[in-house]
Amino acid sequence: MFDLLKKNIAKHTALSDDEMEHFCRLFHPQTVKRKQLLLREGDVCKFEGFVTSGLFRVYHLDSNGSEQTLYFATESWWVTDIDSFTTQRPSQLFIESLQDGQLLMISAQDKEYAYEHIPKIEKLFRVMTQKTHAAMQRRMIDMLSKTADKRYQDFTERYPELACRLTNLQLAAYLGISHEFLSKIRKKIARST
């Protein structure tokens, strides 16, 4: 469980064994059930989580009652509302567990402690946030230029193992389309193969 975390950290920045141990001791395991909300709109986000099993979605609920999914997080992904977590102001987002699962959680205080006492942790999260942001820029370009059809095909090709764990409703909220229309896209693609 911590092995997965250590492997993930090592992918972004080299830490000494001491630094790694020191940092990892700040995380606490938490098991969650399907449909459990880790965060709801209006709450201050108190945690950053590293997913060791399960599947989560981070989404916004607008005034019409429809949902926009910012991202999914599965094994070895990080999950938090970065805005609320860093500012400690009320969140605009929900975080829901879609399956029974497990996370390693760190609190805002402990992360602040890590920033101050383990210098490389600044670098770690600087690098991770840069990568996440670059990925978001690519997704924005896709949103600006591609039809739902193409975005769906790209998603299923890039994340096949994730796509098959999602319902139409969940995937539609990520693609920014209605689930009915997603159903029609699937039908069209199935016909043409």
H helix count then E strand count, the chain: 9, 8
Indicate which single residue of 82, 114, 118, 185 sits in contact with a copy of itself (rule: CB under 8 A): 82
Torsion angles phi and psi, residue 7, rounded to 5: -65, -40
Q: Does 126 bind a copy of itself (CB under 8 A)?
A: yes
Residue 23's CB is within 10 A of a number of other CB atoms, namely 23
Between 98 and 124, whose beta carbon lies closer to a copy of itself?
124
Distance CA 94, CA 91 (A): 8
Q: Does 44 bind a copy of itself (CB under 8 A)?
A: no
Between 135 and 169, whose beta carbon lies closer to DNA?
169
Q: Across the strands, what pairs with 49?
A: 79, 105
Q: Does 83 bind a copy of itself (CB under 8 A)?
A: yes
Distance CA 28, CA 24 (A): 9
Q: Does 183 bind DNA (CB under 7 A)?
A: yes
Question: Mask 54-93, x = binds DNA (CB under 7 A)?
Answer: ----------x-x---------------------------
Question: Mask 148-167, x = binds DNA (CB under 7 A)?
Answer: xx-----------------x
Residue 81 token pair = 């509302």
What one-character DSSP code corresponds to residue 42? T
Q: What minimum distance in Å lies between the beta carbon of 102 and a copy of itself?
A: 25
Q: Does 60 bind a copy of itself (CB under 8 A)?
A: yes
Confirm if 57 and 98 have CB atoms less than 8 A apart.
Answer: yes
Indicate which single residue of 125, 151, 152, 171 sits in contact with a copy of itself (rule: CB under 8 A): 125
Q: Across the strands, what pairs with 61?
A: 67
